[in-house]
Homo-oligomer: A and B are copies of this chain.
Amino acid sequence: MSYVLNLRCVLCGRTHSTKVPYTCPECGEDGILDVQYEYSAVRGKLNRKVLTQRSEFSHWRYRELLPIDNDAILPRLQVGWTPTYQDDALARHVGIRTLHIKDDGRNPTGSLKDRASAVGAARALSEGNRVICCASTGNAASSSAGMASSLGLRSVIFVPQRAPEPKLAQLLIFGATVFRVQGAYEDAFRLSQQACQRWGWYNRNCAINPYLIEGKKTVGFEIAEQLGWVPPEWVAVSIGDGCTIAGAWKAFREFRELGLINRTPRMLGVQATGAAPVTNAFQSGKPLCPVTANTIADSIAVGVPRNWRKAVLAVRESGGAMVNVTDAEILDAMRYTGRLSGIFAEPAAAASVAGLKRAVSEGIVPEQSSALVVITGSGLKDIRAAQQAVSAPFDLAADGHGLQEALQEQGLVPAK
């Protein structure tokens, strides 16, 4: 058994039993549910000492706070417990006293989404479901497909017409059945919902499945534990749908509730200027207004985020803030994060670094703070964006003519 108590609707606040399959029966699709645990029971099981002695170095080390039965079969791929580095060079560049960087690009399929997909795949299997389905062009899709494969499950992925070929390659390698829909993302999403209903497949759309965010929250647990139970003052996370930042915040709340940490960080939500409906909702205090997303950071290019309420609430409850960054700032952050840290971040991941830099320069995050940026995905997943970020190499004749001059320009050798 797991410690899951019930499901609470983020819209109307009603609680429902875990028999409810997806969203709130009262509120419909807008009524996204939030998983509640028996914290009083977990308290006796999960403390600093217990955790420190665990030899499970993956996100399953926090199993008491995951919606997974004891006897569930878990994907074999090692998910989570990604490295967290203190990075003084990047801290100086961003203008902050102390900076940590958590590289979730090190997950099995290259993104933080693996945390959610692993939980989804394990639940699908324990429910006796052999097919996982979602609509996505990006990290959620490849992650679902990879986790499904590793458990011997099948995956069906609906992608919009404009899905880039390279992103499809990873899905297809994992053996997913991929449908390219002659239409927009919304068409792919609708078809995936219909297919799940019709054929009873496991629905791995974060927009309606309340369990996936539980996987995502483990990134917050790890931040707390890896930093010796003293979270940084600020945690910067980029926002697309809103599910990741909400998950990370939930983790800090739960660890404080259990007495594992004494203070929670402020959450810095970062959106791209070209896709900032959550920032707008946060700042206006009004319901979300859909936008047409236009940013290089495709993993956060979400015009109609479904989990915006959870995201806004997370930032607000934490005493945090929201900032937007331009594509130019994102490309710049890809460059200086790579050069200073040796970490190749995808655009949506570099956005969190760019957002922190902006927040410091605007005085939103004080220079004397400690902060952590979450790198949500590997830059290898979007080489085309990286190619836009960098300048061309030096062309050199085979006899090396011009080498010394070029090196001098780069400050690599002294002038003659």
CB within 8 Å of B: which residues of A? 57, 75-78, 83, 85-87, 89, 103, 106, 108-110, 131, 145-150, 152, 154, 156, 158-159, 165-166, 168-175, 177-183, 187, 191, 194-195, 199, 334-335, 338-344, 378-381, 383, 386-387, 389-391, 393-398, 400, 403, 406-407, 410, 412-413
Q: Is the CB of A391 within 8 A of B147?
A: no
Additional pairs, 14, CB under 8 Å, beyond known A187-B398, A191-B396: A77-B342, A77-B343, A78-B83, A89-B152, A149-B338, A168-B393, A169-B387, A169-B390, A170-B383, A173-B335, A173-B390, A174-B344, A191-B400, A378-B380
Partner of A175, one of B103, B339, B386, B394: B339
Q: Which residue of B lies closest to A409 (CB)?
A: B177
Partner of A342, one of B149, B156, B178, B403: B149
Measured between C-beta atoms, what is the minimum distance from A198 to chain B in Å? Answer: 9
10 closest Cβ pairs, A-B complex = A175-B339, A150-B342, A183-B398, A172-B390, A178-B393, A173-B338, A149-B342, A380-B380, A169-B386, A78-B83
Measured between C-beta atoms, what is the minimum distance from A328 to chain B in Å? Answer: 16
Measured between C-beta atoms, what is the minimum distance from A164 to chain B in Å? Answer: 10
Partner of A338, one of B106, B174, B183: B174
Sample of 21 A–B contacts (CB below 8 Å): A75-B342, A78-B85, A106-B106, A110-B378, A146-B342, A149-B338, A149-B342, A159-B393, A168-B393, A169-B383, A170-B379, A172-B390, A172-B391, A173-B338, A173-B344, A174-B342, A174-B344, A178-B394, A191-B396, A191-B400, A378-B380
Q: Is the CB of A387 within 8 A of B57?
A: no
Q: Is the CB of A154 within 8 A of B412?
A: yes
CA distance A165 to B166 in the complex (A): 14
Q: Which residue of B lies closest to A397 (CB)?
A: B182
Partner of A344, one of B168, B170, B343: B170
Q: Which residue of B lies closest to A75 (CB)?
A: B342
Chain B residue contacts of A175, Cβ below 8 A:
335, 338-340
Q: Which residue of B lies closest to A393 (CB)?
A: B178
Q: Which residue of B lies closest to A158 (CB)?
A: B396
Chain B residue contacts of A195, Cβ below 8 A:
403
Q: Which residue of B lies closest to A82 (CB)?
A: B78
Chain B residue contacts of A170, Cβ below 8 A:
344, 379-380, 383, 386
